Amino acid sequence: RKEVEQDPGPFNVPEGATVAFNCTYSNSASQSFFWYRQDCRKEPKLLMSVYSSGNEDGRFTAQLNRASQYISLLIRDSKLSDSATYLCVGSYIGYGQNFVFGPGTRLSVLP
């Protein structure tokens, strides 16, 4: 079983829609979680970190449920510029700091 799993997508939504992505993780030792955004043929960039009680950043809200080992990302009022692949990432302290990436969920926001 993969350590981090995500909705396969793709998600095709109209501008202004609300869209939610789900992510589950299997390593209970994972301490921190993140959502990264990756544009086509570009490097991943941090969108937001997700901590114990979840957090909000403008139109983006991330939630963490440690009991269910589940993370979500909610995007409200989708913009065309939100079109990208969203990567769910967990990290844990092993020999150094280890990051485990999910396969990503692709989002296309349509005009």
Partner 1 sequence: NAGVTQTPKFRILKIGQSMTLQCTQDMNHNYMYWYRQDPGMGLKLIYYSVGAGITDKGEVPNGYNVSRSTTEDFPLRLELAAPSQTSVYFCASTRSGGAGADTQYFGPGTRLTVL
Q: Which positions touch partner 1 (CB under 8 A)?
A: 4, 32, 34, 36, 41-46, 49, 87, 91, 95-99, 101-104
Q: How near is the Cβ of 69 to partner 1 at its closest, in Å? A: 18
Q: How near is the Cβ of 83 to partner 1 at its closest, in Å? A: 16
Q: How near is the Cβ of 42 to partner 1 at its closest, in Å? A: 7
Of 57 and 77, CB closest to partner 1: 57
* H/E stretch holding 104: none
Of 18 and 97, CB closest to partner 1: 97
CB count within 10 Å of CB 92 equals 16
Structural contact between residues 48 and 34, judged by C-beta atoms closer than 8 angstroms: yes
**Which residues on adjacent β-strands are paired with residue 25?**
4
Of 3 and 76, CB closest to partner 1: 3
Nearest-angstrom CA–CA distance, 59 and 19? 11
Query: Phi, psi (5° rounding) for residue 6?
Result: -135, 160
